[in-house]
Amino acid sequence: MTDDPSPERFGPGVMEGSSLSPNLTDTPRAAPTLPEEFSLCTRELAMDAACYHALFEHALDALIHIDASGIITAWNPQAERLFGWPAAASVGKPLADLVIPPRHQAAFFECLSHFLATRHGAAVDRRFETSGLHRDGSEFPVEVTVTVVPMSEGIAFSAIVRDTTHQKQIESDLRLAEHRLGAIIANAPVIVFAAAPGGVISWIQGKALEAIGVRSAEVIGRSIHDVFPNDPQIQDILRRGFQGDTSPKIVELAGQAFEVHQLPHRDDNGCITAIVGVATNVTEHRRAAEELRVTAEALEKRNAELLRSNLELDEFAHIVAHDLKEPLRGMQTYASVLIDAYGDIVDTAGRSRLEALRQLSDRLNQQLEALLEYSRAGSVELAMRESDLNQVVNRALFALGFALQDRRVAVRIPRPLPAARCDPHRVNEVYINLISNAIKYNDKPEKWIEIGWYEREPAVTDVAETPAAGFPSAFDQCGSTKVAADLMPPVFYVRDNGIGIEPQHLGAVFRVFKRLPGSDEYGSGSGMGLTIVKKIVERHGGRVWVESTHKEGSTFFFTLEPGMDNGGAGHDQRQTLSNPPDR
Ligand code: ADP
């Protein structure tokens, strides 16, 4: 090797005259003389050496020469970079000490002596993979090719060493990606496939293959037309796929429905060379969707029927109440006339019976009035608008001002109420009914009523997680307070420290004309107030329920919009949870 073997040093004449650049002209030349021949060979040799040197210096792989005893005789710049040893520190050293990990050294020496003895070796003249040892002690994967260099005084070896760390990483990433993909495909209800032009299946895999009785190994390499003969849907999909159509299609196979998405694979010229597709088994999904549709339709029908029968019921209640009022008015008048005109004539027993007749007809009148109000609550159109509930409550308190004063009931409103979208007149009726009950059914010397609300936001979660006294237990019974907080609309309440309701009666208080035993002691009533409350609240899409501790007090809760969990259909569920039915 020369120190400066740049090919340029040989000049163009060398190239022209060298055997690498034969003279192709037909002009015959005189045979060279011996000195000329010698000079030519020298030049050729110099040029070969220059070429080799350039290769050695600039090769992208490490080039290492060793002699027959394993001592390094040449070490190119790439070997320096790869193993961290400079040429000066490597040449003359045993190769094994420098670059072969200790665990491979014995095998190296065995190979070397075997080759020297037999001139045969498994590691010679072929590429093999092993590990290299860096100067810093780290190991890395390498690919090595060893060739034998015959020398005048024996043999030497030349090795080309390539660092395969990056390649190995890519291979490992690829294997991982394949593994992941395989796991998905093996467990998802899909079939993934690739087809070449003409429909030859080059790849097909997926759990959904079981559903159509196809085994991947049996169909790969076969035409899709053989596997699914005379199936126009498959042929259509294939044809469209090779035309570049990527729109999804539904295909029925072996009684299963598949949604097929396909993507064309194009070569550098944009020609479609294959299609890759995913077919998802949507049979269950479609069945569920169909069931849902049928259920929704039935529900809608039932709702419409319910609505119609409710309207009819309201209409009926209205007609009955209205028509009964006429003869009742006559009975009331006659009862009064009898008492006024004949009260002195009849004896005490007769007089008290006449009094009872008047009271009963008054009560009947009251009930008919309540029935009329109830049917009005069901039929009157709601005038929904954003309403300030503070004003609504104040109007109710004003209307009940006399009773509050008379019974010395303190009213507290812990914090202002929010605005709500509702019919303020109807919600005013709700508050009047609840507050008047709270005034009426109270036997405590210091009576109070609390009018408040809970919001659905974090405050609700906080309260629900650490329930405050009287907070709706239904929140806890929904399973998760977080879910409850997210799904519930604001909850309004009217709380009192009154007589309370026994647990077995909780479910009954909202029933038509239902008055609990002993209610008369606290004042008269039709037993319709809470029924009307329920009707109004439900017409707003809300729910109403009660929690109570007998002899300690009650809290009536209501919402004015449906919760997102069940679109308002949860009313009955919630009422059942909080208020077990009273039979
Ligand atoms: P009314 O008050 O006219 O009897 P309601 O429908 O308003 O009719 O109430 C039904 C029954 O529920 C009442 O008779 C009473 O027994 C009971 N009730 C209602 N509100 C309360 C309350 N705040 N405290 C205790 N019991 C109540």
pLDDT for the residue 29: 64
pLDDT for the residue 576: 29
Looking at the CA of residue 438, tell me the nearest atom of ligand 1: 23
Output the residue whose Cα is nearest ligand 1's atom 4: 527
Q: What is the 3-state secondary structure (H, E, C) of 360-384?
A: HHHHHHHHHHHHHHHHHHHHCCCCC
Burial zone of 33 (CB within 10 Å; 0-12 exposed, 13-18 middle, 19+ buried): exposed
Give the end-to-end CA distance of the chain in Å, rounded to a whole number.
112
Ligand 1 near 439 CB (within 6 A): no
* Average pLDDT per block of 10 residues along the chain, 583 residues long: 36 36 52 81 88 91 95 96 96 96 94 92 90 96 95 91 95 94 87 91 90 90 89 89 92 91 92 93 92 95 88 83 87 89 88 90 88 85 94 97 96 96 96 97 97 68 35 39 60 97 93 88 90 94 94 96 53 34 36
B/e letters for 263-274, b = 16+ CB within 10 Å, e = fewer, are ebeeeeeeeeeb
Q: Are strands 139-151 and 127-133 parallel, antiparallel or unpaired?
A: antiparallel
Please answer whether residues 74 and 1 qualify as being in contact, where contact means their C-beta atoms are separated by less than 8 angstroms: no
pLDDT for the residue 478: 35
pLDDT digits over 403-431, tens only? 999 999 999 999 999 999 999 999 999 99
Phi then psi for 36, rounded to 5 degrees? Answer: -65, -45
Output the residue whose Cα is nearest ligand 1's atom 3: 525
Q: Are strands 385-388 and 272-281 parallel, antiparallel or unpaired?
A: unpaired
pLDDT for the residue 564: 56
Ligand 1 near 547 CB (within 6 A): no
| CA pair distance 89, 129, nearest whole angstrom | 25
pLDDT for the residue 20: 38
- Give the residue ranges of DSSP H helices in 75-144: 77-83, 87-90, 95-99, 102-118
Please answer whether residues 441 and 501 qualify as being in contact, where contact means their C-beta atoms are separated by less than 8 angstroms: no
Q: Which residue has the tokens 């009742």?
A: 328
pLDDT for the residue 97: 95
How many angstroms does the Cα of residue 166 sit away from the middle of ligand 1? 81
How many angstroms does the Cα of residue 76 sit away from the middle of ligand 1? 102
By most ligand atoms within 8 Å of CB, the mutation choice from 368, 441, 551 for ligand 1 is: 441
pLDDT for the residue 524: 83
| CA pair distance 533, 373, nearest whole angstrom | 11
Q: In terms of residues, how long is the chain? A: 583
How many angstroms does the Cα of residue 178 sit away from the middle of ligand 1? 70
pLDDT for the residue 385: 95
pLDDT digits over 475-516, tens only? 433 333 344 455 678 999 999 999 999 999 998 999 988 889
pLDDT for the residue 453: 96
Q: What is the 3-state secondary structure (H, E, C) of 228-278?
A: CCCCHHHHHHHHHHHCCCCCCEEEEECCEEEEEEEEEEECCCCCEEEEEEE
- Facing residues of 447 across strands? 409
